[in-house]
Structure 1
Amino acid sequence: MKYTVTDIHNMDSRFRAQFVNSLSGFKSAHLVGTQSNQQVHNVAIVNSVFHLGADPALLGMIMRPHTVRRDTLENIVETGVYTLNHINSEIIAAAHQTSARYDQELSEFNECGLTPYFSDTHNAPYVAQSRVKIGMALEEVVHLAVNQTNMVIGRIVEVILDDNAVLEDGFVDLQALDSVCIASLDGYYQPSLLARFEYAKPGVVPQKKR
């Protein structure tokens, strides 16, 4: 089956959102933890986090157009700090529920059955149930005129995870940590490692790592 630009444009809006969101493949699944200047804790699911650089250690994420109240983005801009928390199989229902719209004065942690956790060195709430917790400091918000979204660029300032999850070469064993991924808007998957390969060189047959 072939879909043209016209076909995609004429789709029902909810169908189109699911369809187009599926095309980019499996995406990372994170909960963004923030708090307002009034100390109200907020948590929201995102599937748009991406690696931007290792030195400095930067992660980006795309936030939807700021045409209505966006507590997560507003809190990040106000406080300059936030957290990214991997979703695991035990909290996928609670994580999905964070996509609901709650009143601004309510703690979405409480409403969704998640627990805020604060480290001694970061002023944004982590998700206690997450097995990979990443503390972020805001570097830049870039407005994308093409569709009015915002790219949030943050610097990693701390990482909290199990000691045995980091292998000798720095590889983080996400399968051992039960990190899940998302397809489209509401499909949750448990990825499994198929293979790791040695550094690729021209003219050399790819070699699997042992």
Structure 2
Amino acid sequence: MQFFDNKDISNLNKIFRINLINSCSGFKSANLLGTISEDGNTNVAVFSSVTHLGSNPPTLGFILRPTTVPRNTHKNLKDTGYFTINHIWEDVFEDAHHTSAKYPYDISEFDMTNLEPEFKGDFNAPFVKNAPVQMAMKFIEEIYVPSNNVMLVVAQIQELYVKDELLQEDGLINLSEGKVVTINGLDTYAVPQFKKQLSYQRPKVIENI
């Protein structure tokens, strides 16, 4: 088994270190965040850090790297207060990955890929058309993490759209039915398969001997 201590990690080749540490935490969620600027320019970008924070109120968060360079997603959601989260599925993961390219502020990634924007009801930010799970999000707060110079962006779900075939009777969204992909590291994609849903676990009864 390969072994790395903290000193080893610090001395690694930069690219090797980035790949190693980005993949050691395990498979990550693969999502497209859709935003729109105050003057109507749409933006869509891939994020692998979206995570559940709480169910009541329904709250998600994601990690944003330092804003020392332009971050169109961050600027738009702070200016408007809203954005969307859309699960990436097997058919579009290459286009989704391309949204990580750094285009100028006035160039929409929707125009540079086969991804299509979709507007629903009165919600201003664009969803990604045909995404198996789509969420309309309201920005709540951001928490700065000084030790690593990143921010945790916190938002609440305002609207949730789930394709019929994914939603189970108990409320579970079976992502494998939508061929939702996951990210391994920075740039490697996989399609997980449903194995088994296990019941809520309670401690075993230990009988006196």
TM-score, reference length from structure 1 = 0.94
CA separation in 2, counterparts of 1:59 and 1:103?
28
Task: Note the C-alpha offset of 1:198.
Answer: 1.0
Q: For structure 1, which runs of at least 5 residues remain unmatched after alignment?
A: 205-210
CA separation in 2, counterparts of 1:70 and 1:15?
25
Whether the 8 Å contact between 1:65 and 1:147 is mirrored in structure 2 is no
Q: Secondary structure at the match of 1:58?
A: strand
* Deviation digits for residues 23-45 of structure 1 (CA, Å, limit 9, x no counterpart): 00001100000011111000100
Which letter maps to 1:169?
D
1:60-209 paired onto structure 2 within 5 Å = 60-203=61-204
Identity, % of aligned pairs? Answer: 39
Task: Note the C-alpha offset of 1:108.
Answer: 1.1
CA separation in 2, counterparts of 1:121 and 1:38?
17
CA separation in 2, counterparts of 1:66 and 1:120?
31
Q: For structure 2, which runs of at least 5 residues remain unmatched after alignment?
A: none
Aligned residues: 204
Which letter maps to 1:65?
P
CA separation in 1, counterparts of 2:165 and 2:131?
16
* Deviation digits for residues 169-208 of structure 1 (CA, Å, limit 9, x no counterpart): 101110111111000001100101121111111116xxxx
Whether the 8 Å contact between 2:165 and 2:177 is mirrored in structure 1 is no
Question: In the alignment, which residue of structure 1 is the partner of 2:48?
Answer: 47
Q: Secondary structure at the match of 2:175?
A: coil
Whether the 8 Å contact between 1:91 and 1:129 is mirrored in structure 2 is no
Deviates more, 1:17-26 or 1:156-165: 156-165
CA separation in 1, counterparts of 2:39 and 2:13?
39
Question: In the alignment, which residue of structure 2 is the partner of 1:208?
Answer: none
RMSD of aligned residue pairs (Cα, Å): 1.0
Deviates more, 1:188-197 or 1:25-34: 188-197
CA separation in 2, counterparts of 1:46 and 1:62?
9
CA separation in 2, counterparts of 1:52 and 1:161?
19
Which letter maps to 1:28?
S
Q: Secondary structure at the match of 2:178?
A: coil
Which letter maps to 2:166?
A
Whether the 8 Å contact between 2:38 and 2:79 is mirrored in structure 1 is yes
Which letter maps to 1:26?
F
Task: Note the C-alpha offset of 1:10.
Answer: 1.2
**4+ aligned runs moved over 4 Å, structure 1:** none
Q: Secondary structure at the match of 2:177?
A: coil
